[in-house]
Amino acid sequence: MESPINFLTLHRDSVRHQYFPNNQTRDPFFDPIDKAWIIANPAHCKELIGSNHLRPGTSSCAEEYGALADRLGLDFSSLTFAFNHIPLCLHGDQHARSRRRMSELLAERKTALNARIPVAVRTHFEVMRREGSVELMKKAILPLALDIISAIVDVDLSAAGEGQSVSVAFDKLIGMSKRRKIATEIAMLREVIACRLGPTATEEDIGLRLALLVLGKDPLAGTIGESLYRILTANSGRRLLDIAYPDVPPETGVPVVERLVVAPFSFAGRDFAVGDRLRIFLQSFAYVNEPRARIGFFGGGAHTCLGRPVSLDIWKAITALLSEIPLRATVLSYSIRDSDYVFACPEHLQVELKA
């Protein structure tokens, strides 16, 4: 089935607001441009996300960058190191081990996180208590995300900057100069983490924390930024304390995941062969009628996002704070980052606050 929709960029295109509510019965269908099967029905997404017939589509990232380094004589060792520790890039036993290690670290840091989240939210969102214009991504959301990730990995990551480009490493369309910039940032972050952990730290200890940064900061910032943009736009001019905030964020920073077929299977009247690629739009859960069903943003089964409890706790703290503010909020300008293959994160979100 051919379509004028660009499914490679649908997750950051405004046309998604019309597409997802109106086309859920069409999939699965093969998009000849993207060369992938499109999955945009929430029920299909929920069933396929944890299927044993599939493996992460990004599981070849380390090999691809390794081949690129060999061909061009460039140093992408920091990127291949990161990919070899990111669950999104792993399969089978490696994936299970990486998830287990992440789960253990999150459990170890739970007490510290419970104490840090309300303090961090109050600190970074204090800017919304004052009248005037504020750029929320720069002044509140990105600093908060970096603060939380630093608390999770127990490393002050601000020493290496904000790591603004690291998650764009998944973008298959970026040029070589940006790839080199990303590799430099990853190498710097790896060094900061290694220095903080000390000489007894293993490569796995370092890689685990680096993976949490890549997988945590932009998805968290994207979820908060996209959700606040949607809520504030829908409630333009209303007092923040009068808005009914949902328990689950209405948008996600991880709008799409890719899967590769590793064993042939049939689903929804279609036959899938080994090597077929599926583009699964978790973003479709933003358009379900039952708000609690948006929990589907976080995947399912062995591919459930380990950061779901933390994300929901942060969202609860943010909405609780906003519910105390009598100021009226109006979005002045907004743009989404347009060089991203996997995540959805605002580049810019300017808001005016007034009594």
> What is the predicted pLDDT for the residue at 165?
59
> What is the predicted pLDDT for the residue at 220?
94
* Any domain includes 166: yes
Element (H, E) at 38: strand 36-39
Partner residues linked to 272 by β-bridges: 265
Where is average pLDDT lowest: 1-5, 35-39, 218-222, 301-305? Answer: 1-5
* Any domain includes 93: no
Residue 19 domain boundaries = 10-58+106-354
> What is the predicted pLDDT for the residue at 93?
85
What is the Cβ-side half-sphere exposure of residue 262, based on CA atoms within 13 angstroms?
A: 12
Pairing of strands 277-280, 36-39: parallel
Tokens 């961090």, located at residue: 120
DSSP state of 148: H
Q: Model confidence over 215-248: pLDDT tens digits? A: 888 899 999 999 999 999 999 999 999 999 999 9
**CA distance linking residue 165 with residue 183, whole number of Å:** 9
> What is the predicted pLDDT for the residue at 1?
42
* Any domain includes 3: no
- Residue 225 · residue 20 · CB < 8 Å: no
> What is the predicted pLDDT for the residue at 279?
94
Element (H, E) at 135: strand 132-135
Q: List the structure tokens of 260.
A: 């590769």
Amino acid occupying residue 71: R
Is residue 68 pLDDT above 90, yes or no? Answer: no
Q: Model confidence over 257-303: pLDDT tens digits? A: 989 999 999 999 999 999 999 999 999 999 998 888 899 999 887 77
> What is the predicted pLDDT for the residue at 312?
96
Partner residues linked to 270 by β-bridges: 267
* Any domain includes 330: yes
* Any domain includes 74: no
Mean pLDDT of 129-142: 96
Is residue 161 pLDDT above 70, yes or no? Answer: no
**Distance between terminal CA atoms of the chain?**
51
Q: How many domains does the chain have?
A: 1
Mean pLDDT of the chain: 89
Q: What is the CATH number of the domain that holds 328?
A: 1.10.630.10
Of residues 99, 125, 351, 72, the one with CA closest to residue 237: 351
Where is average pLDDT lowest: 58-72, 140-154, 220-234, 299-313? Answer: 58-72
* Any domain includes 282: yes
Is residue 162 pLDDT above 80, yes or no? Answer: no
C-alpha torsion sign, points 109, 115, 116, 117: positive
* Any domain includes 68: no
Of residues 221, 281, 323, 231, the one with CA closest to residue 34: 281
Confidence of residue 70 (pLDDT cuts 50, 70, 90): confident
3-state secondary structure of 52: coil
**CA distance linking residue 332 with residue 337, whole number of Å:** 17
Of residues 14, 32, 15, the one with CA closest to residue 23: 15
Query: What percent of the chain lies above the pLDDT cut of 70?
Result: 96
Q: List the structure tokens of 117.
A: 């989240």
* Any domain includes 316: yes
Of residues 6, 16, 1, 5, the one with CA closest to residue 173: 6
Where is average pLDDT lowest: 57-66, 249-258, 340-349? Answer: 57-66
